[in-house]
Chains A and B, each alone.
Chain A
Amino acid sequence: MAIPPEGCLTDSGIRTFLESPSQQADFEDHVNECRRCQQRIQELSESSADGWKKFMPDDHSISFEQTLADNVLLCPPAQDVWQQGCDRIGRFEDCRPIGKGAMGVVYVATDPKLGRNVAIKLLTEERVSDAVWMERFGREARLAGSLNHPNVLTIYEIGESEGRPYIASELVQGVTLQERLLAFRLQLSEVLDYAAQLADGLAAAHAAGIVHRDLKPDNVMIRDDGLIKILDFGLARFSGQLNLEEASVSRDGMIVGTVSFMSPEQARGQELDVSSDLFSFGSLLFLMLSGQRPFVGETPSDVMAAILTRAPQSMGEFNTDVPPWLVQLVARCLSKDPALRPTSAEVVADLAQHWPAPPVLKTEQKATAPEVDRRAFDEAPIELTDVRYARSGDVNIAWQTVGDGPIDMVFVMGWVSHLEWFWKDANFAAFLRRLASFSRVILFDKRGTGLSDRVPVDELPTLEKRMDDVRAVMAAAKSEHAVLCGISEGGPLCALFAATYPQKTIALTMMGSYARRMWAKDYPWGPTEAQRELFFEEIANDWGGPLGIEDRAPSKANDPEFRKWWASYLRMGASPGAAVALTRMNAQIDVRPILPTIQVPTLVLHRTGDRCLRVAEGRHVAELIPGAKFVELPGDDHLPFVGDSEAILDHLERFLTGMKQSPAVDQVLATVLYLRIEADSAAAFDQFQQLLHHKCELFRGDHLTIVDGAAKVMFDGPARAVRAAHAIVGLANRLSIGVSCALDTGICDVGQETLGGTAVELALQISQSAEVAEVLVTNTVRNLVSGSGLLFIPKFTLSDPDIEVFSLVESS
């Protein structure tokens, strides 16, 4: 390497210079003259691994613009003040700030008395000392809060904390309309849905004489399930945010945003009545349809001038798909003359006429006055048939139908039940009546409980037997297909039924339900074995009293009437021995493997605070069922007819009435038996083949095909399939024919000429490892037949797919 000429530096010298250039100022002069050093520095600079380079995004695009972030940086946010959580506001605990609005800071907090989460708005106004103001504010807030309409935010209470007034209200999980609009344009159907709900909420308020005064996208929340909630009814006048003087000096977009939705009379500072809200509603509708505000301007004053003097922008410029009637409706709402605007009730009617309101409105509306409603259902002339009996095998199953709605619904109550005792609790009766208002409800008691034949404790039904019972009841009620509605432990049965008989299942709904009852590493919500044992003991000792009422109906646990009913309901439902045995059997349930095979529309409902079964269990179920809709509802009660049952019924009705048709059924959940047959002679094989047909028929097998020394056949019950395999092995032994069997439960294609699908393939694969006279099953099969008396030992684990295989050792 050449020695550097005079004044030049080595590479390490250059690096040192670049590290701290000020110490070698003369080299800087040298570089200005020396091309060689320039070249070298250039090279070193390009190849250096500067720390910041690892932050370079893949596309190398970096903005040098003054960013918003920088603005915030330059004026350090005053947000610390409110971002800090505080221990309590009033009687509410564990308050965490979640947002800030014009009126104050919003917190999420816990109500220690009811154990529920609430939203708390702590007002910035320090007006508590002003008794007149407080009184007026409290009255207004309470008045608005008393509306009790699904589309109006429910206010729980008003109070004061450390000199500042607060409002505690229901907590809504969702986004504001403002946020929603900024993300993406709304579909026309969404706009109409939201508009109808908004109009509905407004109409209820207006009927009560309450004016909102500040209807704007920030004051409308869209709950995650699509329910609209109007916030801050009638409170605007207390926030000072409509003070025009303030508005005009404000420079930012927010005030412009607020004035954009003002009515002309509001811009003039005149007295407001309900028609002012209609103008704001028109502006909202315009915004939702077009993405633009109807009146625009550079400054708040310009916007107000436009509101007062100009016609709204033409909606057609932004969205030409808006139907003419809707353009006209918006134009009427935006009339400068209040007298020309429609009333909110007219808007509701108009929307409903042109666009049949979605069931959400019809049903949620019923919740407006639950007292009145419940009576209406109590008095409704709903036909309740006498209890009758259906034969399932040699057992009589008690059943009954209620109502004559357009679709059938099989109602599967969990644990134990008693048909006639359902009707002795007013809430339960109202719940069933409401179901019967839109369906023909088919009720039954599972074998061994209620009015059905009592069976020996060791013959209590497996899920499979109970499916047979459901089929027997449906046949007796002349129902070809029905919605399966499972409550709690009725859920897994309904899920299995829906997967096995999709052609008989219109839809599946599960309320407060689960997929597995015991703790496992991959199912952390179930009780441990020790906890279950304690519960069995409790049943054995305390049956006769209101057992488990604290977990199942906490909101009524202190109601002596209800306690009495619940205790008698359980007593009528089952004997203590049967209750223990049933609960023990339920502990074995694990239907997780079959959930992904369900193809019918599914709705899973679960209350957030369900004390009996965690909400995560319901969520898990919904996650496993393709396309399932999951709805989480507030409340702690496990029993759906206790607590806010209207919300559950609303969702159910909406789901069933708005449901899409289920796809054509050529895939079903079934248990496939794959047989390898080795016969010494063609004659022996023929004889076996004939007997095989007979055996399969006996065990209700279907789609039997025999080709090339192998046979496949499917069964709708896994235990029956295993027993069939066992019987076939016995038959083959007698004929000196070698058969090896493998079974799996899963999706089967029945649309083709021969049976196909993943279950067939897996059974085929496993059968290759089966010895002669051996019956191998997958863990799916094994889990589904628990309680059936079939015994298995682990055999091996397939690596791909990862499946445990078991060998049948005993079939009782």
Chain B
Amino acid sequence: MSRRKASAESITSLTLLCALKDDSQQHQAWIRFVRRYGPRIEGWCCRWGLQDADARDVTQNVLLQLAKQMRTFEYDDRGRFRSWLKTITWRAWADYWGTRNRNAALPGSLELLEKLNTLEAKDDLLLHLEDEANREILEVALQRVRGRVKERTFEAFRLMAFDGLSGAEAGEKLGMPVGSVFVAKARVDKMLSEEAALLDCDP
């Protein structure tokens, strides 16, 4: 119970989140947040046909709204990170269209902007952010597992799973018997899967 609660809490804090609620880390968190979610939102804008300047304008506004939502919308630690992200995205979305000064937009792109204001586009945005949510979950899971195994064990896993080395190559590089490399990889695979599932609280 306490474990589950702890994971939920830390995952809340994951994105900027922590930090919009804690001044001292705000700056770092913001930068990280903008770096991560900015390109996602911009990519989404471009996919929906917006030109550079408009895409930047929309991205900027959606980010701000998202941040605002994250700050004001309390995360319910019984819920899942994903549905939380989904909720705030929807709200940011609604807010964006609610408060945007649409007169400020370039007249030529109004039509395109309107295209973004469709259900289809909204779902697509969620999909774009979902991928980012996956990354967050996986990274935290990796950090946690890393803290619980020997550095060499984790490294064996990393070399095989992320750098594409074979067991024999990884073993050579780390000076480990190849059998141990496989064992290490298998252990981390298992722990990581459990950890990620726990963070996701996916039923």
> A99 is contacted by which of B20, B24, B64, B180 (Cβ under 8 Å)?
B20
Write out the residue numbers on chain B whose beta carbons fall within 8 Å of the beta carbon of A72. Answer: 10, 13, 18, 25
Asked whether B149 is an interface residue with its Cβ less than 8 Å from the other chain, the reply is: no
Asked whether B173 is an interface residue with its Cβ less than 8 Å from the other chain, the reply is: no
Write out the residue numbers on chain A whose beta carbons fall within 8 Å of the beta carbon of B46. Answer: none
Kindly report which residue of chain B lies nearest to residue A625, judged by CB atoms: B102
Q: Is the CB of B138 within 8 A of A630?
A: no
Chain B 1-42, CB-CB to A under 8 Å as 1, else 0, gives 000001001110111001111111111111110100000000
> B143 is contacted by which of A19, A73, A79 (Cβ under 8 Å)?
A73
> B136 is contacted by which of A28, A69, A184 (Cβ under 8 Å)?
A69
Write out the residue numbers on chain A whose beta carbons fall within 8 Å of the beta carbon of B177. Answer: 28, 32
Query: Within the assembled complex, what's the spacing in Å between the Cα atoms of A591 and B191?
Result: 60
Asked whether A77 is an interface residue with its Cβ less than 8 Å from the other chain, the reply is: yes
Asked whether A56 is an interface residue with its Cβ less than 8 Å from the other chain, the reply is: yes
Q: Is the CB of A68 within 8 A of B134?
A: no
Asked whether A98 is an interface residue with its Cβ less than 8 Å from the other chain, the reply is: yes
Write out the residue numbers on chain B whose beta carbons fall within 8 Å of the beta carbon of A70. Answer: 140, 143
Q: Known interface pairs A42-B166, A48-B189. Does A21 touch B183 (Cβ–Cβ under 8 Å)?
A: yes
Asked whether B83 is an interface residue with its Cβ less than 8 Å from the other chain, the reply is: no
Interface size on B, residues (CB 8 A): 82
Asked whether A627 is an interface residue with its Cβ less than 8 Å from the other chain, the reply is: yes
Query: Within the assembled complex, what's the spacing in Å between the Cα atoms of A290 and B18?
Result: 28
> B178 is contacted by which of A18, A32, A85, A225 (Cβ under 8 Å)?
A32
Write out the residue numbers on chain A whose beta carbons fall within 8 Å of the beta carbon of B25. Answer: 68, 71-72, 252
Q: Nearest Cβ in chain A — how far from B195, in angstroms?
A: 8
> B99 is contacted by which of A48, A182, A224 (Cβ under 8 Å)?
A224
Query: Within the assembled complex, what's the spacing in Å between the Cα atoms of A780 and B184?
Result: 69
Q: Nearest Cβ in chain A — how far from B17, in angstroms?
A: 9
Write out the residue numbers on chain B whose beta carbons fall within 8 Å of the beta carbon of A83. Answer: 21, 74
Chain A 420-450, CB-CB to B under 8 Å as 1, else 0, gives 0000000000000000000000000000000
Asked whether A4 is an interface residue with its Cβ less than 8 Å from the other chain, the reply is: no
Kindly report which residue of chain B lies nearest to residue A48, judged by CB atoms: B189
Q: Is the CB of A41 within 8 A of B138?
A: no
Contacting B at CB under 8 A, from A662-710, are: 663
Chain B 60-99, CB-CB to A under 8 Å as 1, else 0, gives 1001100110011010000000000000000000010111
Chain B 177-203, CB-CB to A under 8 Å as 1, else 0, gives 111101101110110111111001000
Q: Is the CB of B182 within 8 A of A100?
A: no
Q: Known interface pairs A41-B167, A175-B68, A601-B103. Does A28 touch B180 (Cβ–Cβ under 8 Å)?
A: yes
Asked whether A660 is an interface residue with its Cβ less than 8 Å from the other chain, the reply is: yes
Chain A 217-254, CB-CB to B under 8 Å as 1, else 0, gives 01000001110000000000000000000000000111
Q: Known interface pairs A38-B178, A77-B18. Does A63 touch B139 (Cβ–Cβ under 8 Å)?
A: yes
Contacting B at CB under 8 A, from A14-41, are: 18-19, 21, 27-32, 38, 41
Asked whether A291 is an interface residue with its Cβ less than 8 Å from the other chain, the reply is: no
Write out the residue numbers on chain A whose beta carbons fall within 8 Å of the beta carbon of B185. Answer: 45
> A253 is contacted by which of B24, B98, B195 (Cβ under 8 Å)?
B24
Q: Is the CB of A184 within 8 A of B27?
A: no
Query: Within the assembled complex, what's the spacing in Å between the Cα atoms of A257 and B10?
Result: 26
Contacting B at CB under 8 A, from A596-644, are: 601, 619, 623, 626-630, 632
Query: Within the assembled complex, what's the spacing in Å between the Cα atoms of A203 and B105?
Result: 33
> A254 is contacted by which of B26, B68, B103 (Cβ under 8 Å)?
B26
Asked whether A1 is an interface residue with its Cβ less than 8 Å from the other chain, the reply is: no
Asked whether B110 is an interface residue with its Cβ less than 8 Å from the other chain, the reply is: yes
Q: A52-B193, A627-B105, A627-B110 known; 7 other A-B pairs, CB under 8 Å?
A: A32-B177, A173-B68, A173-B99, A175-B67, A183-B63, A253-B28, A623-B97
